[in-house]
Amino acid sequence: MEFDFVIVGAGSAGCAVAARLSENGKYTVALVEAGEKDRSPWIHIPIGYFKTMGNPKVDWAYKTEPDPGLNGRSLNWPRGKVLGGSSSINGLLYVRGQAQDYDNWRQMGNEGWGWDDVLPCFRRAETWEGGESAVRGGSGPLSVSKTRLSRRPIDAFIEAAQQAGYPYNDDYNGENQEGVGYFQMTAKDGRRCSAAQAYLKPARGRENLTILTGLITKEVLIENDRAVGIVARGGDGDQIVRARREVILSAGAIGSPQILMLSGIGPADNLLANGISVKKALKGVGQNLQDHLQARPVFKCRSSTINTETNSLWKQALIGIEYALKRTGPMTMAASLGTGYLKTRAELETPDIQFHLQPFSTDKVGTGTHPFNAFTASVLQMRPESAGHLELRSNRIDDHPVIHPNYLSTPLDQQTIVEGIRVARRIARFSPAKEEIIEEYAPGAAVDDEDYDALLDWARNTSTTIYHPTGTCKMGKDDRAVVDPRLRVHGVDGLRVADCSIMPVIVSGNTNAPAMMIGERVSDFILEDAA
């Protein structure tokens, strides 16, 4: 099999790249996905992330090493293994980040990545339910909508935040991110709009686009310092898929560096230790790993929440009937309803913490909800200083990399997560939240607000990922950079990386929307260079 372009990974970025490179009909494009087609109905029902995360049929189900910053705990790191990638199993939340994030990338030497450069890509990608504007798109493939669900405890918390002095923001993806409001979601008419639905479904009839599923990429073929194709394993054994022009890795912040290293591109010591000959020594591959860590304060409340609305088969059946007939109700719910982008310190130019307000609660994500009504005011630091790394476990693609997140390893990160918890508690003391809340369930009254060490220890013992690994093939020009500003791998011709691994610094918010933007942006570069 031979094509002009071979794209590895049909996730958020890869789907965008495949659609854009194939739309003019000039080039042949292969999109190679390790997972299968997105047939499961749970992928297309918004609430389906409760069923898909942790399911090895559609989730790579990575797991971190015990992390000192979490008092030795390991975390599950779900990543999509299906057409659409993580956009097919995520919480549907659409967040671009701050303009300053991208201007900072440009100031780091990455020309073409400032806010003025990436905004056209965000606009081109989306159709925003609120209407087209100078900053929002109105005719893109990705449907972005307002939440179709409300619950009184979340409304009360958002109203209380305003009483506490925080502004209301009707569109955090607009001119200014700061404030409290409601999440936007990648959905249309009560159904998930994954990258596969947005980009691949309209493109599937193109003769020049070939979508190959169930093929696990083992390595990139390198000849004379040039990528000429890939070796992928399917049901019939290994296959070679050759690329006349370029190979684009869009396998994600874990998959892309793993494939590079298995191909002989990465830190020489780790490659040699695993019996891999070094074709290009790039010590930054797998380094600069960043993620968002969420602390999860929980408040028992008086009004109904998902906890008790789904605690019987009869109630679940009624919810299912409502969804089937009306496309409304809890089954249309994104992972969170309300949000907030706030500052923990007055001197900050932009918000440094983000809230995910959820009308349900649990002691541990994935273990079922509490038997009482409660909501969660999850809070995270948007720009952590802490950075970890990943490295090969072996020279086999089936052996997941060793993942060291290195959470909460700097004083600023520790201070910010503690202050985030304090902000959640402070808001809860204002009306109408204080009338709605019966008591704080976690951390609970036993953890005093003035006891910094106790709050930090609670965060270490209970915080979890919010599924935003980034940075492991970072863009730049320094000695730790893996790709240049046009996402070409340093020292290897015909090879690019295009996914969240290229972020030099994690963005201030969720990463799905930026992943699709990266796919849009690199498509511009590839088409310009091919002309």
CATH at 457: 3.30.410.40
Does some domain include residue 118? no
Phi then psi for 471, rounded to 5 degrees? 90, 0
Return the structure tokens found at 365: 């994500």
Residue 491 sits in the same domain as residue 356: no
Q: Which residue has the tokens 């220890």?
A: 457
CA distances from 298 to 70, 151, 178, 194, 331 (A): 19, 15, 23, 30, 22
**DSSP at 267:** -
pLDDT of amino acid 166 = 98
* pLDDT for res 222: 97
356 catalytic residue (yes or no): no
- 3 state SS of 36: strand
- What are the structure tokens assigned to 48, written together? 């389906």
Same-domain pairing of 22 and 156: no
Find out whether 36 and 66 touch, Cβ atoms under 8 Å.
no
Residues 200 and 57 in one domain: yes
- Note whether 458 and 482 are same-domain residues: no
Neighbouring residues of 274: CB distance < 8 A, sequence distance ≥ 6: 392, 394, 395
pLDDT attached to residue 368? 87
Q: Residue 204: is it exposed, middle or buried by C-beta count within 10 angstroms (0-12/13-18/19+)? A: exposed
Domain with 26 in it: what CATH number?
3.50.50.60
- Burial environment of residue 508 by CB neighbours within 10 A (0 to 12, 13 to 18, 19 or more): buried
Q: What's CA 510's distance to the chain center, in Å?
A: 6
Domain presence at residue 123: no
Pair 458, 369 in one domain: yes
Secondary structure E strands in 284-422: 293-295, 298-301, 338-342, 353-358, 374-381, 389-391, 402-404
* CA proximity to 49, closest of 8, 88, 81, 105: 88
Helix or strand holding residue 17 (H, E): helix 12-22
Secondary structure (3-state) at 60: coil
Residue-range definition of the domain harbouring residue 350: 148-182+293-381+408-462
Residues 531 and 425 in one domain: no
Q: Look at residue 34 and tell me if it is in a domain.
A: yes
CA-based Rg of the chain, rounded to a whole angstrom?
22
Do 365 and 437 belong to one domain?
A: yes
153 shares a domain with 15: no
Q: Are residues 399 and 374 in the same domain?
A: no
Question: Helix, strand, coil shares of the chain as percentages rounded to 5?
Answer: 30, 25, 45
- C-alpha 94/C-alpha 479 separation (Å) is 33
In the numeric block, the tokens 């779900």 are attached to 78
Residue by residue, DSSP assigns 40-52 as -HHHHSGGGHHHH
Q: Which residue has the tokens 């000429």?
A: 228
- Please tell me what DSSP assigns to residue 489: B
Asked whether 191 and 44 are in contact (CB, 8 A), the reply is yes
Record the tokens describing residue 69, joined without a space.
């910053």
The residue with tokens 């189900």 is 61
Give the residue from 222, 263, 265, 230 showing the smallest Cα distance to 483.
265
Helices within 223-310 (DSSP H only) = 252-262, 268-273, 306-309
Residue 96: CB atoms within 10 Å: 25
Q: Are 311 and 503 in contact (CB under 8 A)?
A: no
CB-based contact 78:61 (threshold 8 Å): yes
What is the distance between the alpha carbons of residues 147 and 155, in angstroms, rounded to a whole number? 13
Those residues whose C-beta lies under 8 Å from the C-beta of residue 519, and which sit 6 or more positions away, are 12, 13, 14, 15, 16, 17, 20, 195, 250, 498, 499
CB-based contact 196:18 (threshold 8 Å)? no
Helix, strand, or coil here: 94?
coil
Q: Say if 26 falls within a structural domain.
A: yes
Spell out the residues 6+ positions from residue 212 whose beta carbon is closer than 8 angstroms to its own: 30, 31, 32, 33, 232, 241
**Per the domain annotation, does 11 fall within a domain?**
yes
Residues 269 and 309 reside in one and the same domain: no
- Among the candidates 462, 479, 503, a domain finishes at 462
Question: What confidence score (pLDDT) does residue 379 get?
Answer: 98
421: amino acid identity, one letter: I
Six-digit token string for 280:
């290009």
| Same-domain check for residues 426 and 308 | yes
What CA–CA distance (Å, rounded) separates 162 from 148?
Answer: 22
Q: What is the pLDDT along the chain (531 residues), one digit of tens a residue?
A: 999 999 999 999 999 999 999 999 999 999 999 999 999 999 999 999 999 999 999 999 999 999 999 999 999 999 999 999 999 999 999 999 999 999 999 999 999 999 999 999 999 999 999 999 999 999 999 999 999 899 999 999 999 999 999 999 999 999 999 999 999 999 999 999 999 999 999 999 999 999 999 999 999 999 999 999 999 999 889 999 999 999 999 999 999 999 999 999 999 999 999 999 999 999 999 999 999 999 999 999 999 999 999 999 999 999 999 999 999 999 999 999 999 999 999 999 999 999 999 999 998 877 789 999 999 999 999 999 999 999 999 999 999 999 999 999 999 999 999 999 999 999 999 999 999 999 999 999 999 999 999 999 999 999 999 999 999 999 999 999 999 999 999 999 999 999 999 999 999 999 999 999 999 999 999 999 998
Catalytic residue selected from 389, 400, 404, 468? 468
First to last CA, the chain: 23
Total domains, the chain: 2
Which pLDDT score, from 0 to 100, does residue 367 have?
78
In a domain, 252, yes or no: yes
200 within a domain of the structure (yes/no): yes
Q: How far apart are CA 135 and CA 122, in angstroms?
A: 8
Residues 499 and 368 in one domain: no
Instruction: Count CB atoms within 10 A of the CB of residue 188.
Output: 17
138 is a domain residue: no
Are the beta carbons of 66 and 72 closer than 8 angstroms? yes
User: What whole-number distance in Å separates Cα of residue 226 and Cα of residue 223?
Assistant: 5
